[in-house]
Structure formats: structure tokens, C-alpha cells
Amino acid sequence: MSQNVFEMAQRHFHRYAEPLDLPRRYPHMDILSHLTTPDRSIAFRITLQRDDGSLTVCRGYRVQFNDDRGPYKGGLRFHPMVDLAETTALAFWMYLKTAVVDIPFGGAKGGVSIDYASLSLAEKERLTKRFTLILANDIGPEKDIPAPDVNTGEREMAWILDEWRMMTGRYRRGVVTGKPVTMGGSQGRREATGRGVFYTIVEAARDMKLPLAGATAAVQGFGNVGSVSARLLHEAGTRVVAVSNEFGAVTNPGGLDVPGLIAHVAAGNPLTEFPGSEPMGRDDLLTTEADILVPAALENAITAANAPQVKARLVAEAANGPITPDAVDIIADKGTRVIPDILCNAGGVTVSYFEWVQNRQELYWPIDEVNLRLRDVMVGAYRRVAEVAARDKCTLREAAYHIAIERVAEAAARRGVQ
């Protein structure tokens, strides 16, 4: 990740904040600096003991960006591209995301710069627990609540809960969300981000008078988010014509058998060897012929270089930051509708919030209740954003930023000046 990803995110923020006239409305608060400066950035060394007894040193991070609206909240990413700038940008987007869907959290993000996939299971557990040990006093159910992100999931959350309770002597399940259901996780959390993406696509498609049954879609990334979004689109009658993961891409203009593809990949087979599909260039997926494009991988998928070739009428930003700032205008100028990341992928943190609520009550909801409430939150947030966009004649991204910034600025002002 480039060094200036956070600076880019800040530049974008200033552009969206400009019409809100915050310095005049909140005088003497240095409000723009307040909203663009992380509260606290923790950067540390993690020494991992390898299975052969040797040691590997890597960098770990937790950036607690803003807690004006509630405790810090955000995922953990274990990936070689992780650095402080990326973690800071992701934490920044996190507090805007929780504000767009109006759940009572701030924003944070953490990670370790390591090729996590290459570690043995025992090494993965040691690394995750070491990370937790170092941050034991900085996280907690009322302070900062980690969750899954790229390369982390239920397994890692269970390890974190275990290490944290050993360290602190307190069995407080709400210290992390995205846990296994057997340890107090919420029903539906695993699917929540992809399901939320789908709910926002349903709303946007309706506004565009684009019937999902019979439409076509391309999905970049086939992890937890991409595969669930693809499956729900498939179930809605959309032809998913192309799918990619980090190793390659496959296409079938007649529509891929998505449940079959999920089973094929889950069985450990290469995506590109899926029967009934043709391999295609990984980057070609982004510019392929499809009504809906779902970038569900990492940042910077659509740049100024490939944006002019994007053919989709609707782009659903399932990943965080998949369109670079210089590509945003290129895409908007084509008349393509974009569901911005801070709205589109907020379903994950929304069900994280439900999990935290359930943990506080030790009373657990059935799956239908979780999904209904998720739908309410996502549809409500989408409708509010679409309303503001129509009123102010701006893009959904600008409207989402306006709503989020207003909510956080108001909370910051009400806290007082100390």
C-alpha cells in the first residue's frame, strides 16, 4: 500500500466536508483537524516464534481514530501490504462507516504486516495471541472492539477472546465481534457484510429501474464478502458472469453456477479450474461487460488507468477504498452509480454491533431476527443517503460523507471543549 493512502483519504474528506461549512458552524474547535487526525496510533514490534524455534520480527498496528459517537470499532487485517498509512486510512473510513449506518461506535483498525497465509496453524495462533497480549490494555468491550477483516475470521476472534480473558481475568465476550457462535458470536455475522452489500444493490437497482433478475454482474474477490454477495445476486436471478480471486478469474457469459463455484473453492480447488467456465485475466474482470460490478477485494482496484474502460452501470464498493480518488470522478462522469464503501460494506460492522448488544445481554437472537434488523439498518441508511443525494444533487458518496461528517461533528461539539 502506498505511503500516501491516508493523505489521499484526507484530501477526499476535505473535498466532501467543504460544502458543510464546518469551521463556521463549529467555531474555535479546529473541527476539520479534529475529524482528520487519529486519536491514537499504536505501532509495535511483534516477535513471532516459528515452529522451528527461530524468531521472525514483524510490525503490528492499532489505530484508534475517533470515538466521539461510541467506543472504537474495527477489524484486524493480517496481510503483507499492511502498514501504518493503510491502517490509519481504514480506521478513518471505519468511523465514517459507523456514522453512516448510525450505530453507536467510533472507528479503529488494526493489523500485522506478515504473509499470514504462509504460517502454520500454531504460528497463526501464537501471532494472534501475541498481538492481543500487547494490546490487552487498549482493547475491551467499552474501549475498542476488534473484529475480522482480510485474513482474519472466527478462529482469530476466538483466540483473541481467550488470550484477553486470560490476561485480564474477565470473561467479557464483547471484547471482540465476529466470534464463533459457540463462543457468543452472532448468528449471521459471517455473511453480514456480503448480505449488506446485496441489500444496498437491491435498493440502488430499484432506483435505476434495473431488474436484478436477468441483470449481469462481475464480482472481484471471492472471500467472505465477494462469495456471499455473488450467491445472493445469483439467488435473485442475476447472472454472475465473472468472478476472480487473488490467483485468477473465470467467466461464463451465460452465468456461473455460483453455489457450485463456492463448493469447488471450499474443497480446495483452484478457482480457474471450475468446470463450465473459461479463465480470464484477473484485471479484465473489472472492465468486463456486466451491469453490476462488485469490487470485493482490496483497495485501489479501479484507478485512473482502468476507470475509463469500466462498463458497469452500477458499482457496489464491497471492499474498502476500491476506487482511487482520481478514478472517482472518471466513474461518476460516465453516469455510473456507485454505492460508496462506507455505506455498501457496513453490514459487517452492523451485525458486529448486534453481536455486542447480544453479548451485553447474554441473550441471543435467531438468524431471522438478525437478518431482518440488518436489512432495516442497511435499507434505512441507503434511503437516507439517496434522499440527501437527490436533494443536494450530488453523488451517493458525497451524500454518505455529508451524513457521516454531520453526525460526528455534532457529537464532537456536544462533548465539550476539553
Q: Which stretch binds ligand GLU (CB under 6 A): 123-131, 198-206, 210-218, 342-350?
A: 342-350
Closest CA to 76 of 8, 4, 134: 134
**CB nearer to ligand GLU: pick between 274 and 365:** 365
Spatial separation of the C-alpha atoms in residues 96 and 346, rounded to whole Å: 10
The minimum distance between CB 374 and ligand GLU, in angstroms, equals: 12
E strands in 257-381: 278-280, 292-295, 314-316, 337-339
Interaction between residue 340 and ligand GLU (CB under 6 A): no
Is residue 35 a contact residue for ligand GLU (CB under 6 A)?
Answer: no
Tell me whether residue 26 or residue 365 sits nearer to ligand GLU (CB atom): 365
**Contacts (CB under 6 A) with ligand GLU, residues 212-271:** none
- 73 binds ligand GLU per the rule CB under 6 A: yes
The span from the CA of 336 to the CA of 210, in Å, is: 13
Q: Is 209 tagged catalytic?
A: no
Write out the binding residues for ligand GLU, residues 147-166 only, by CB under 6 A.
Answer: 147, 149
Cβ density class 96-105: b for 16+ within 10 Å, e for less: bbbbbbbbeb
User: With CB under 6 A as the contact rule, which of the stretches 266-274, 289-297, 347-355, 384-392 interacts with ligand GLU?
Assistant: 347-355
Q: Is 248 left (phi over 0), alpha (psi -120 to 50) or beta?
A: left
Please give the biggest Cα pair distance in the chain.
63
Shortest distance in whole angstroms from residue 49 CB to ligand GLU:
27
Residue selected from 66, 244, 320, 371 as contacting ligand GLU according to rule CB under 6 A = 320
- Using the minimum distance from each CB to ligand GLU, give the nearer residue, 186 or 324: 186
Q: Which residue is nearest to ligand GLU (CB)?
A: 75
Contact call for residue 195 and ligand GLU (CB under 6 A): no
CA dist., res. 349 & res. 56, Å (int): 32
Distance of CA 134 to the CA centre of its chain: 24
Helix, strand, coil % in the chain, rounded to nearest 5: 50, 15, 35
Strands 40-49 and 55-66: antiparallel
> Looking at 103, 139, 230, 349, which residue binds ligand GLU (CB under 6 A)?
349
Catalytic residue ranges: 109
Binding-site ranges for ligand GLU (CB under 6 A): 73-75, 97, 147, 149, 177, 320, 345, 348-349, 352
